[in-house]
Amino acid sequence: MKKIIYLLLIATTLTSACSKKNDPGTDNGGGGTTVTNGKPLPSGANDGVTFINSGTSAIFNLYAPGKTTVGLIGDFNNWTAVNMNQTPDGTRWWVQIDNLDPNKEYSYQYLVNGTLKVADPYCEKILDPANDSYIPSSVYPNLKTYPSGQTGIVSEFQYNQTAYTWKTTGFTRPDKKNLVIYELHVRDFVATHSYKTLIDTLSYLSNLGVNAVELMPVNEFEGNDSWGYNPDFYFAPDKYYGTKNDLKAFIDACHSKGMAVILDMVLNHSFGSSPMVQLYFNTSTQKPTSDSPWFNVDPTHPDNVGYDFNHESAATKYFAKNVMKFWMTEYHIDGYRFDLAKGFTQKVTTDEASWGQYDASRVAIWKDYNSFIKSVDPNNFYVILENFASDQEEKEESADGMMHWNNMNYNFNEATMGWVGTSDLTGLFFTPHTFTAPDYLVGYMESHDEERIQFKNENYGNSSGSYNVKDLATGLKRVEAAAAYMLSTPGPKMIWEFGERGYDISINNTSRLSDKPPHWEYMSDPLRKGLYNAYAKLIRMKINNPVFTTANVLYTSTGAIKSIALTGTDVKVMVVANFDVATQTSSVAFPATGTYYDYYTGNTISVSTTFTNVTLAPGEYHIYSTAVLK
């Protein structure tokens, strides 16, 4: 996307290329010292590359305080270093390159202190000599050849690129209280690991009824075959999934089908091939140096991987906000799921218990980021934190509009396996978390990070007489009962890919992070297709009936028979399910007396007293309502 900036002092036109300085604040990180004969950065020049003179010239701008020299090398100057100017405050290095061909794609690097070659942290495309050869042309056609004789990752820029024309305008994001999110990994959802094939499968998700798609990380990460939680470049879509216009086309297609797109964003840490890590790195200790503007020398929390960002640093805040704004404006995304949000702290902890305690500084960091996001897009943009911190902390963040991942995998799987004594589902509801509304807890049975429900059913399920959870048909019906209970609970919900058809390949098959087969042939199995159809009916029920957003909810979440009583403005609902492996009878509290309709069969029952005995076979469930549900 070209952004035209008219300068008052020089008669040139500037256009941002790899430049993503989004003006997230007046402080760009600081950390410099006064430089004699320093040269100010030209007005309008952003981070990375800024084109001028209709793409025949460009200004390169690198934030690197404390460095002695920085040179620019690239195929526009035969990889011979051109010295860059240091700004008077000592924080930035810049140079203007002329006589460029606006139609040509160029490669470049920065040469720091005469020895270290790094790519541009702000570039939107890289060439990786170790991994690009494994990207098929069907996924990324006409990929430029890595420049001969060079080493390390190089950055790319080109003035004249094929712009994407957005087809869906005016997309209205679903209210967060109605969100049903589908989390998927491009690599494992379609065997081609490409956005183009992913677009072809959108009818599958549309027919399922979900109204949001959450993509695991898609910005450049180390290697190709990865979950993406090892990021190195934050403005460049990973080429293993396709071109940037392919990604835009996927987002556009989702919007055309009424589905929001949420990106999994990893800003807790970065990995060693990141130029930001490399710029300030001690090769002897294999740690960032103490003068790094962005990274802690040692991580502050026990779950860190890679190199830990310091989110109290002005430089980190500036960079993180630029990243956030870039994907919002350039790719029209609708929300972020922030990975390891609990790691955004400078309070050092060594154990999980103390790490999860209330942290006022962490809350302040997230409120600041959330406020910035609202300033960029106030229209119901989703901010979801993988926090798992104290209820006090998450309640305070929810009051600011942020949502939180709510992991119920263990509890639901105990229920589906038939081990009812350890199947407490209380945490699914907002009241035990002390939240004031159900809109800020994203409950789920499965995620990319948890074992698959049906795998555990088949391998560890309980039994009684001839009833055996390990039987495929039985296990799938119990997954259906669990989905009914989860989706009936007020608040946003999430489904992990293929859970809706009883995916039963272990997360640890081969290895935790390895490729998993999509098993699209499962949809030819009547049992698995039946589970998919049940999910679709439940999702539409949740989205189309306001009663499932009510805060007026009573529940029994322990024991064999679990129930939910919901009172809406025009209808009352009673959900009951038996998670034991034997028939059970229990007295459940209906929200009112009268006639109730069974959502599945259409049959009616008469409830003469609010406390009514129900007898359910193992795995049996019902959704009753005082009026026919949509």
Q: What φ, ψ does residue 539 adopt, rounded to 5°? A: -65, -45
Q: How many residues does the chain have?
A: 630
The one-character DSSP state at 109 is: E
Residue 301 lies in a domain: yes
Compute the distance between CA of residue 243 and CA of residue 140 in angstroms, rounded to an integer. 6
What separation in angstroms does the CA of 123 have from each of 18, 69, 153, 328? 4, 21, 11, 17
Please name the residue that has the structure tokens 């990274």: 295
Residue 167 lies in a domain: no
Domain that holds residue 435: 176-546
Is 34 buried (19+), middle (13-18) or exposed (0-12) by CB count in 10 A? exposed
The one-character DSSP state at 145 is: P
Tokens linked to 319: 């960079």
DSSP string, 245-294: HHHHHHHHHHHHTT-EEEEEE--SEE-TT-HHHHHTEETTTTEE-TT-SS
Compute the distance between CA of residue 497 and CA of residue 201 in angstroms, rounded to an integer. 12
Among candidates 614, 579, 619, 616, which has minimal Cα distance to 596?
614
Among candidates 522, 482, 481, 524, which has minimal Cα distance to 502?
522
Is the same domain home to 261 and 138?
no
Contact assessment for residue 502 and residue 530, using Cβ atoms and an 8 Å cutoff: no
What separation in angstroms does the CA of 76 have from each of 111, 302, 371? 15, 45, 41
**Amino acid identity at 515:** D
Residue 170 lies in a domain: no
Is the same domain home to 150 and 244?
no
Tokens linked to 109: 């690097």
Is the same domain home to 413 and 540?
yes
Residue 541 lies in a domain: yes
Q: What φ, ψ does residue 399 adopt, rounded to 5°? A: -65, -20
Number of structural domains in the chain:
3
**Amino acid identity at 201:** T
Contact assessment for residue 442 and residue 494, using Cβ atoms and an 8 Å cutoff: yes
Helix (H) or strand (E) holding 487: helix 472-488
Residue 462 lies in a domain: yes
Task: Please work out, in degrees rounded to the nearest 5, the angle formed at the alpha carbon of residue 283 by the alpha carbons of 306 and 153.
Answer: 65
What separation in angstroms does the CA of 338 have from each of 19, 243, 414? 23, 24, 28
Please report the pLDDT score of residue 17 as a whole number: 52
**Amino acid identity at 159:** Y
Please report the pLDDT score of residue 32 as a whole number: 64
Contact assessment for residue 157 and residue 470, using Cβ atoms and an 8 Å cutoff: no
Is the same domain home to 461 and 573?
no
Helix (H) or strand (E) holding 556: strand 553-556
Compute the distance between CA of residue 249 and CA of residue 197 in angstroms, rounded to an integer. 11
Is the same domain home to 530 and 592?
no
Is the same domain home to 462 and 499?
yes
Residue 173: left if φ>0, alpha if ψ -120 to 50, beta else—which one? beta
Contact assessment for residue 593 and residue 609, using Cβ atoms and an 8 Å cutoff: yes
Please name the residue that has the structure tokens 């679903």: 174
Q: What φ, ψ does residue 612 adopt, rounded to 5°? A: -130, 135
Q: What CATH number is given to the structural domain containing 38? A: 2.60.40.10
Contact assessment for residue 469 and residue 463, using Cβ atoms and an 8 Å cutoff: yes
Is the same domain home to 261 and 353?
yes
Please report the pLDDT score of residue 31 as a whole number: 60
Contact assessment for residue 310 and residue 294, using Cβ atoms and an 8 Å cutoff: yes
Residues 6+ apart with CB under 8 A from 354: none
Last residue of a domain, one of 496, 526, 546: 546
Q: Are strands 70-74 and 82-83 parallel, antiparallel or unpaired?
A: antiparallel
Residue 201 lies in a domain: yes
Residue 449 lies in a domain: yes
Neighbours of 77 (CB within 10 A): 15
Q: What CATH number is given to the structural domain containing 361? A: 3.20.20.80
Last residue of a domain, one of 520, 546, 572: 546
Compute the distance between CA of residue 603 and CA of residue 596 in angstroms, rounded to an integer. 8
Last residue of a domain, one of 157, 192, 225: 157
Task: Please work out, in degrees rounded to the nearest 5, the angle formed at the alpha carbon of residue 385 by the alpha carbons of 379 and 391.
Answer: 115
Is the same domain home to 459 and 566?
no
Q: What CATH number is given to the structural domain containing 581? A: 2.60.40.1180
Is the same domain home to 541 and 583?
no
Compute the distance between CA of residue 492 and CA of residue 442 in angstroms, rounded to an integer. 5
Is the same domain home to 237 and 141?
no
Residue 163 lies in a domain: no
Compute the distance between CA of residue 94 and CA of residue 50 in angstroms, rounded to an integer. 11
Tokens linked to 144: 């430029």
Task: Please work out, in degrees rounded to the nearest 5, the angle formed at the alpha carbon of residue 235 by the alpha carbons of 233 and 241.
Answer: 80
Per run of 10 residues, the mean pLDDT along the chain (length 630 residues) is: 31 45 55 80 97 98 98 97 97 98 98 98 98 97 97 98 95 97 98 97 97 98 97 98 98 98 98 98 97 98 97 98 98 98 97 96 98 97 97 97 98 98 98 95 98 98 98 98 98 98 97 96 98 98 98 97 97 98 97 96 95 97 97
> Would you tell me the crossing angle of helices 360-376 and 314-330 to the nearest 10 degrees?
40
The overall pTM is greater than 0.85: yes
Is the same domain home to 506 and 566?
no
Residue 621: left if φ>0, alpha if ψ -120 to 50, beta else—which one? beta
Is the same domain home to 203 and 74?
no
